[in-house]
Chain A
Amino acid sequence: MMERSPQEPVQLLTELAQLRHDVKRLTQANSDLEISLSTTAEHGDFVEAQLQAANQRLEAEIAERQLAQLTLQTILETVSRDKADLEMILTATAEHGDVLAYQLYTQAVETMRRSEELFRAISESTPILMILTQQLDGKITYANSISIQQLGLDMQRQEGYRLQEFFLNPDDERQIEVLLADQGRVRNYEMQVRCATDDAFWVSASIHPLVLGDTQTLLTTLYDVSDRKQAEAALQQSQATLQQQAQDLELRVIQRAAQLQQAEEKYRAIFENAAEGIFQITLKGSYISANPALAKLYDYASPDELIAGITNLSQQVYVQPRRRDEMIAYLTRFGSVEGFESEVYRQDGSTIWVSENVRAVRDADDVLLYYEGTARNITDRKTAEDELRQQRLMSERLLLNVLPQPIAERLKRGETNIADSFPAATVLFADIVNFTGLSSHIAPVELVGLLNRVFSVFDKLADRYQLEKIKTIGDAYMVVGGVPTETRDHAEAIATMALGMMRATNRFKTRNKQPIRLRIGIHTGPVVAGVIGSRKFTYDLWGDTVNVASRMESQGEVGRIQVSEAVYEKLSDRFTFTPRPPLDVKGKGVMHTYWLLGKKSE
């Protein structure tokens, strides 16, 4: 509450007046409030009623809104998902695009790298000059190694090069420009290009326009055709040479033909006039050609008649059946034969001897074509040779009649005075006993003929027993065993011969039926045999053995064979003997001798 002070009476009055005013205002206010209250109440009721209605409406509205919100929520979710989808699709698409871009870029780079590599490999390995130039001014922008080398380019040179600088002939530049303008490119244009050493070489040029970056470029390839050009030139040269040579050859052929004709005439003359027969014969054995001499050789009037007449040499010409086969065999083996001597028939059937020289004629492939050769009549020579041979044989035979063969050989070798000692030989003497008596009854010629027949039989026996006949002395016959070739069975052979001689003579009779009687003596021992003197020499025996053998005969008996004791001792086991009473042999004293009777039978 307020504090009271001394001035309060005035104040209080003022305050009172204030209070009165307040009360009055409050009363008014109160009445206003009362009015207001009632108004408000009324209004409140009204409002309340209105609110009630509004509330009801709101509640309905809220329910409605909640429904709408739910719907919206659903829509939002769908939209959100679609948005997420779209974002993902966007991501997928963007990433896909990136992958593609990467892939394409990598591929493009790789492709570029490969094509560049390929181009470089081709351009650096090819022997063809490859050059890129700017179409505008002809400046070289690229040249492969072979170009740099061939043209002597310095790629570092500031001002570069124009390709046309290297054209030897300025016309080529204009020609190429015209071709490029007309056809858009150039193919196989041949021209000369100056190289590093200032020499020129021939190239075949091809030019192909292309766009590199934004630049019109020309790809020029130059193919070195110097070799071909040189070859062409050489070819032309050699063709000219060949033509010249052909002319020369033609001339020489004409000359040679003339020479040949002369030679042909010359050889023809030789062929026609030759003394020898000249011929060519087929493999089957007929004539291809023959000269007049051959025709004459075979008794034909002309070569034509000969060729027509003889169609089978083997049968018609050669006397010896397989003679031609022998010649063919020779020719097959050695290619030729010389001095091939054959007896042949002439047309008239007579035979002559010919000597042929023949060779086989073959072609370059060694195929046998025919035979050719010459033939010569050698009949005269052949006859002379035959006669000579006959004569020699005769004289040989004669010599052998006189001398044993080994002795004859020694004499032919020039030995003289042959006298060989033989320690053991057996000698036989035989005598035709009544020869002297016979001679008075028979004519001498007949007697000699008889003697010859008897002694010929003895000769055959001597040959059979391999004994050596020494000689005949009148009617006596002397033969030896073991000379001139020593043998072991000489005594046995002589004894066998003696028995054979006895039997043989029994068959002989004279014309007057007179028998021929024989007396034989045999002794064995050492002898000397040989040839003495230089004229009318004979092979003879010397020594005591010969004398004793002679005595055995002369002191024997007719028809008997008397042998010495030495013979008996050698043969007593194989032959039969009878002893003879002791005999007084002239110049020898008393000897025991035996009669040989015959061979002991087994």
Chain B
Amino acid sequence: MNIKPVEIKTDDYSIWYEPESSTAFFQGFLRLDGMAEYQPIMNLLVSAIEESDSFNVNLKDLEFLNSSGISMLSMFVVRVRERGNIQLVLQGSEKVLWQTKSLKNLQRLMPSLTLEFSS
């Protein structure tokens, strides 16, 4: 059974994928407990990149992401790099402190990764 959720939504956060713009949106406060709990989100992202050769992750409205979350995001970046032929763009906000600090580290995993910051 290969389930591909297009949207994950709770009181704290919501994540959804828009196929038209090949963009995954993250909003709210994301603080799941451990990698295992991040697996469904990873699945959503991984299944999304199968459909396209360019992929955007919009994190502008994601105010909080815990360490397991950044690990999941790192592993996803590695997965994209391994695929080799996908143009990945991470969209962040200068107003969110963790994004200004941590997203740069993801670029080290995949130098061809594009970072876009908006104020």
Q: Which residues of A contact B (CB under 8 A)?
A: 85, 88-89, 91-97, 99-100, 103
B15, chain A: closest CB distance, angstroms: 18
Q: Which partner residue on chain B sits nearest A97 by CB separation?
A: B67
The complex places the Cα of A103 from the Cα of B100 at a distance, in Å, of: 12
Question: When the two chains form their complex, are residues B71 and A103 in contact, meaning their CB atoms are under 8 A apart?
Answer: no
Question: When the two chains form their complex, are residues B74 and A88 in contact, meaning their CB atoms are under 8 A apart?
Answer: yes
The complex places the Cα of A91 from the Cα of B97 at a distance, in Å, of: 17
Question: Which of A85, A92, A95, A103: most chain B CB closer than 10 A?
Answer: A92
Query: Residues of B contacting A93 with CB < 8 Å?
Result: 67, 70-71, 74
Question: When the two chains form their complex, are residues B109 and A96 in contact, meaning their CB atoms are under 8 A apart?
Answer: no
Question: When the two chains form their complex, are residues A88 and B101 in contact, meaning their CB atoms are under 8 A apart?
Answer: no
Q: Which partner residue on chain A sits nearest B71 by CB separation?
A: A93
Contact with A along B79-102 (1 / 0, CB 8 A): 000000000000000000110011
Query: Residues of B contacting A85 with CB < 8 Å?
Result: 74, 78, 109
Q: Which partner residue on chain A sits nearest B31 by CB separation?
A: A100
Name the one of A88, A97, A99, A103 contacting B108, with C-beta atoms under 8 angstroms: A88
B interface secondary structure, majority: helix
Given A85-B109, A93-B70, A100 and B98 touching (CB < 8 A)?
Answer: yes
Query: Residues of B contacting A95 with CB < 8 Å?
Result: 101-102, 105
Question: When the two chains form their complex, are residues A99 and B74 in contact, meaning their CB atoms are under 8 A apart?
Answer: no
Query: Residues of A contacting B109 with CB < 8 Å?
Result: 85, 88-89, 92
Task: Say if the beta carbon of B114 comes within 8 Å of chain A.
Answer: no
Question: When the two chains form their complex, are residues A103 and B98 in contact, meaning their CB atoms are under 8 A apart?
Answer: yes
Task: Say if the beta carbon of B106 comes within 8 Å of chain A.
Answer: yes
Query: Residues of A contacting B66 with CB < 8 Å?
Result: 100
Contact with A along B50-80 (1 / 0, CB 8 A): 0000000000000011110011001100100
Jot down 21 A-B pairs with beta carbons below 8 A, ordered by A.
Answer: A85-B74, A85-B78, A85-B109, A88-B108, A88-B109, A92-B102, A92-B105, A92-B106, A93-B67, A93-B70, A93-B71, A94-B67, A95-B101, A96-B65, A96-B67, A96-B101, A99-B98, A99-B102, A100-B64, A100-B98, A103-B97
The complex places the Cα of A424 from the Cα of B1 at a distance, in Å, of: 158
Query: Residues of A contacting B70 with CB < 8 Å?
Result: 92-93, 96
Name the one of A92, A97, A100, A103 contacting B74, with C-beta atoms under 8 angstroms: A92
The complex places the Cα of A258 from the Cα of B101 at a distance, in Å, of: 100
Query: Residues of A contacting B78 with CB < 8 Å?
Result: 85, 89
The complex places the Cα of A145 from the Cα of B18 at a distance, in Å, of: 59
Q: Which partner residue on chain B sits nearest A103 by CB separation?
A: B97
Question: When the two chains form their complex, are residues B75 and A96 in contact, meaning their CB atoms are under 8 A apart?
Answer: no
Sorted from nearest, which 8 A-B pairs have the closest CB atoms?
A92-B105, A96-B70, A89-B74, A96-B102, A99-B101, A97-B67, A93-B71, A93-B67
Query: Residues of B contacting A103 with CB < 8 Å?
Result: 97-98
The complex places the Cα of A218 from the Cα of B91 at a distance, in Å, of: 50
Query: Residues of A contacting B101 with CB < 8 Å?
Result: 95-96, 99
B65, chain A: closest CB distance, angstroms: 7
The complex places the Cα of A103 from the Cα of B71 at a distance, in Å, of: 19
The complex places the Cα of A100 from the Cα of B78 at a distance, in Å, of: 23
The complex places the Cα of A378 from the Cα of B108 at a distance, in Å, of: 129
The complex places the Cα of A97 from the Cα of B74 at a distance, in Å, of: 14
Q: Which partner residue on chain B sits nearest A91 by CB separation?
A: B105
Q: Which partner residue on chain B sits nearest A89 by CB separation?
A: B74
The complex places the Cα of A159 from the Cα of B74 at a distance, in Å, of: 60
Given A96-B70, A97-B67, A88 and B97 touching (CB < 8 A)?
Answer: no
Q: Which partner residue on chain B sits nearest A104 by CB separation?
A: B64
Starting from the known contacts A99-B97, A99-B101, 7 additional A-B residue pairs (CB-CB under 8 Å) come to A88-B108, A88-B109, A89-B78, A92-B74, A96-B98, A96-B101, A99-B102
Query: Residues of A contacting B75 with CB < 8 Å?
Result: 89
The complex places the Cα of A96 from the Cα of B101 at a distance, in Å, of: 7
Question: Which of A88, A94, A100, A103: most chain B CB closer than 10 A?
Answer: A100
Question: Which of B65, B70, B75, B109: most chain A CB closer than 10 A?
Answer: B70
Query: Residues of A contacting B98 with CB < 8 Å?
Result: 96, 99-100, 103
Q: Which partner residue on chain A sits nearest B74 by CB separation?
A: A89
Query: Residues of B contacting A99 with CB < 8 Å?
Result: 97-98, 101-102
The complex places the Cα of A217 from the Cα of B117 at a distance, in Å, of: 48
Query: Residues of B contacting A92 with CB < 8 Å?
Result: 70-71, 74, 102, 105-106, 108-109
Contact with A along B39-51 (1 / 0, CB 8 A): 0000000000000
The complex places the Cα of A85 from the Cα of B102 at a distance, in Å, of: 15
The complex places the Cα of A92 from the Cα of B66 at a distance, in Å, of: 12
Query: Residues of A contacting B65 with CB < 8 Å?
Result: 96
The complex places the Cα of A93 from the Cα of B72 at a distance, in Å, of: 10
Q: Which partner residue on chain A sits nearest B100 by CB separation?
A: A99
